Structure 1
Amino acid sequence: MASREAPSPASRGVSANKPLPPTFKSIQDVLNGEGVAKGTLVSVIGVVRDLRRPIPTRNSGGSNHGRGPARRADQSSLTANIDWKCVMTLCDKSIDDENTAQNGATGIELHLFCPQNAMPEVGFRDVVLIKSAKVQDYRFGTSLLSNYRTAIYVYSASAIPMPPKSAKDALKPRPGSKASHVEDDEHEYVSWMYHSMNKDSLPEADVFEEQANRSLNVRDKFSLLKDVGDGGFYDLIVEVIKDPYDLLDKATVWVTDYTENKHFYHHSWDISNAESGRDGDPYGYTTAFENPTTKGWPGPYGKQCLQLTCYEPHASPLRSQVRAGGYIRLRNLQIKYGRNGGNLEGYLREDRAYPSRLGFDVIQKSEFTEDADSRLKDLLKRKLEYKKKLKQQKEAFAGLENTKAVGAKRKDNGESATKPNAKQRRKIQRAQRDQEVQKEKTQKAESLGLNKQVRCESEDQPVSSFDRILNGVSWRRTRENGEEEHLALPFTNIKFRANVRVVDFRPRRLEDFAAGRKMSEYDCLEDYDGGSASGSDGQSETLDSFAGPKTWEWRFALELEDASPKAKGEKPERIWALVDNIEAQQLVNLDAVDLQANQEQLSQLREQLFKLWGNLEECKRHEYDAHLESIRRTKLHMPPPDSSDNEIEENGPEQAGRRPPDKVSNKPFTCCLQQYGLEISEADPTKCDSGEGKRYQRVFKIFGTAVR
């Protein structure tokens, strides 16, 4: 459509210039960041250039129509009933003026989230006055985002009078209500701005309506990589495998969501990069631009990765903002067979309707929360499972599972699985005897007076004594010459219930029962235990690995004494049992925090543990303080204090009449314990039962136990 020359403001009876109302900013200043920082709230006035009509977001239970997730990093600023989204582009005099507009800016986008019944009615060339919208970087561009403080006022274009008359009567009724209101000078500025702008660059009414209505003709195109096919357009959430590769007019990058597609290129585990002759380019597209200093393929292996080619305007931000290990959302990605005709590839090209719109955005670290996109959580679960499976495969390849092969060979040589052999019969007889003994011990345990405030799972299982658990288990086998050989097992993987009482704990102070560690991308997964799935990659920990935001986890151990009935004069056995983060949460019914800085949580922990171990902490604190005092007096060559002085020093003059407890007083309780083995270093070759320089150590942990 040919442009027409617009009459000047003076010819229309409009003054050449009028200052913005106080607290308002021009759109060009917001885009340039002049006096406006990201994350701050601003007020602007602009004419609607284009509109994407309201659509339901995923948070509403409807489709998000490919517009991206409803949950965002700043979601805390939105109310719980927000479930619709509208996007409009606004322009003002600063954009209209060729002398002030920079970088070819055509306007600024407003992303409005609110309930459907509160959405404002916006039409062709209407003027929108916005108060307290948040400035954000979204898809590598500056835009405005609504929040609970945002107030929006829409003026009907056809009803705006010529200045100096006020545009107050053109104000459309508002579906919702806000505390703020429009001043008289703001109404007057709306009239002046609307009639002083050159509107030739704005679309005509029919084009505006066509584009607005077309924004509703969308569908949810989200897909996993395993389901993409030739000729389709898809929305994806993926992890970046390697840094983008610069090809001047475009850029390529490898991505994955840890699902397998039989039409993808197969990355072999046992073929090195040197043998393949290419780095991230199996088809030889970039032979002239190969970088011989880059490392080989980092995985995942198999047919789980897609090569993506991005053209402008996507290529430049891809090179500058995307790195290996990051996560991105892709929109309207074309999938088709590459130049070799054998493998699917992805292509991201310019959007003809919206040339400046990017087809991807980077998922920020702040989005990895409990409220993260469920599709992102699913990707992380698949990644975690892949890491575990890969580690197992590497261990099997290295020969660490030879025992399974030996067992399989023995079964193939003719051992019967239907009729018990001599070894199995002896095992059955021992189990019967143990059951009879256990029955007698259970009857005796009823008189122990167990702590009813502590409960554990599997109450139908018999209670085991420590002496039975701690006795070494041997494995008998018959050699080829007929001799019977007994092999002592360093540990057994068993779970059992026991009657115990707590007699000691580590660390010494309750404040140290919770430890901080650097946050991980897997923390948003409900069943993640804080371990490193990629700990086998050979990377060492540095100071940088502990920097940044921390998450807190329970980490302590309890010394348990067997409370089962004993013969007169028999000393009960003791073991140390670890309590990891998940089991500690169940045990004390509290989440781990920085106990040094949270005294209220520390008091709650002390109260819960008092139910578990009685006055144990008080006794241990008195014992530890007395030990430190003894060391101090020894260093200063001071004589031991008499009883009265000692009492005053330890308790203060006002507490001199109260003596610390002399004996631990607590009730036994029933808990669930698990025995397992840890591989540790060993200098004595005669003790190495887990390979050269290694041996197994038997350890215990508490599980399935809770203080009510």
Structure 2
Amino acid sequence: MTQRRPLSSAARSRNSNREPDLPPGYVSIQDILDHSIPVGRFVGVIGLVKDRRTPMQTGGKDWKSSLTLYDKSIEDDDAGLFVNIFRPQLEMPEPDAGDVVIATSIKVQNYRGEVSLITHRSTSLHVYTASKIPKPPKSAKQALGPPLQPKGWVPGDKEHDYVAWLYHSINKDAVPDATTFDSKVNQSRNIRQKFQILSDVKDCQFYDIIGRVIKDPFNQMDKATLWVSDYTENDAFYKFSCDPEDTKDQNGDPCGYITAKSKESSNWPGPYGKRSIQVTCFGLHAEFVSNEVKAGDWVRLRNLQVKYGHNSNNLEGFLREDRSYGSGVQVDILPTDDPENADDHLKAAIRRRKDYEKILKKQQKSIAANQGGKRKADNQGEGNSNQRRAKARAEARAAKFKEIEEHELERQRKKEADLGLNKIIKCESSDQPIFTIPSIVEPISWETAVDEKEVALTLPFACIMYRANVRVVDFLPSKLENFATWRKTAEFDLLSQCSVDSDSESDEDMGTLDRYAGTKIWEWSFALLLEEADPKEKGENDRLWAVVDNKQGQLLTDLTASDLRANPDDLSNLREQLFKLWGNLEERKQQEIQRRRADQKRIAAQQPPPSSPVPPSTSEQAQAADNSNNSKKPALSNKPFTCCINQYGMMVPETDPLKMNAGDGKKYERVFGLFGTKISS
């Protein structure tokens, strides 16, 4: 045996220049930024630090900081991956520019319109000091800083080797020099001091403000405009009057958000006076405001530029994209239903609004008393004219809406005609829109605040009803005789609104059924596998199981459940009804079951397939069985139909404490059910 020679230094150098694969469990930053990694997944990343924010204390026990990382996949771009870190102060990393950070089990999120990472309690963070990282093939272990978490995961040799290669091969032009880096870190300490109430904002300054959105935002393609008030007054703001006769200083809206006509000032919902600032948002901020923000929301606007607007008379706000300030959208919608965790500035603004509305009511009563009689006489003719114009506008809008509805109905009818829907199957809520199966199956996320941190939660289920175009491709139980089950009678059956608990007794064992001597109540209980009917809408998840309970089974089949084994006529009627629903599906399913049983018996007896002239070997038998199962099956003859589906949740046992979201020993499981659907005669 020839002994292997050790590699020469030149050979080791050549090998070290080759780009190694990422260690198992890690992904490239480019894949995250390209949305190749789905939101909610936990990943590992390795990257160099190009920006950092100093840790700041939150309302809870954690502190908050952030890093911006980059790796080889984006080394020639200006982009970076924003990493949000929530940790106790002693576990907070504070790397310098160019240091290498390893993060494992960190969550991908979509926050403020951009993808980023957020730490989890299972996340491990480790920092390699840049100045101590040796050149490959030496290990970077010596540069690894002390662990931030005493009992956390520690990087191994694969991580050490990759860090050494990454640091000495990557383009470091994106890493700022130490002076610039430290300056930005120190600047981030002052961000919280930028908050200001609107009465104190001045020209050519940047502020963080909290205010209430007065009217629904106005979308102007590449920008969006909204009015915000914190119920303080500023002499440089535009003036609105609650008195329709007072048109002084109402010179119109420079950005077209409201009409310049003084009569339209009566549509302003308040607050009156100089208490509101017009804010124009651009880029990602505009998109977020147009899609998410509505009148009545309380919002925090960060890094808002205040300056005199187009008319040079009034201060306005401008929210532009600024990568140096932070990642993503700088508009936060503030919840008002959590007093314990609410921002103190928000509480103060709400208190000012309450005080303002008390004063407003007194002013409005005074104005009405002084001018009520005069207005009634002077504006009688004009009032009639206004009513006619308002009526004409309302009729025009109604006609337009009717035209849109008719167009949508015509489009839906054409689509249904193309699908060839089964008209025998009827469902309720025919005026509701059609949802595709992939969109129904897609998990629903919900953004909320936990300890002043915005997090996106995937809901275990949601109570939603849908209409969908589907076809039945399978059913359970496999035999129609088992579509009806029984339970014992109970005293609650005397109540007209009795609904049977899902835990009511039942037993498929016929011996137990025969031994029970009491009165049995038979109920429908089966499930249908529904598939998206429109080929253009099919995706990765285009099927779902829909359960059919007793009430919906009666509606669907127009039959009352009974002992189908003891009543062959009832079984025949059920088979005839379901044939209208699923065509030859039952026949095809029974043929498949018989074929599988025959294959199992043949393989157990070590017999060849009927078409094989020579007995095959043992390995060939398994291959023959696969070929038999994959043989061409008769095509389904059923037509697609429209049905109603509801999503809900049920509690099931769970042993993993991390998954017990329904109490001790239980979790919620998402279920779909068929409802409001009938096989007509």
Normalising by structure 2, we get a TM-score of: 0.47
Normalising by structure 1, we get a TM-score of: 0.45
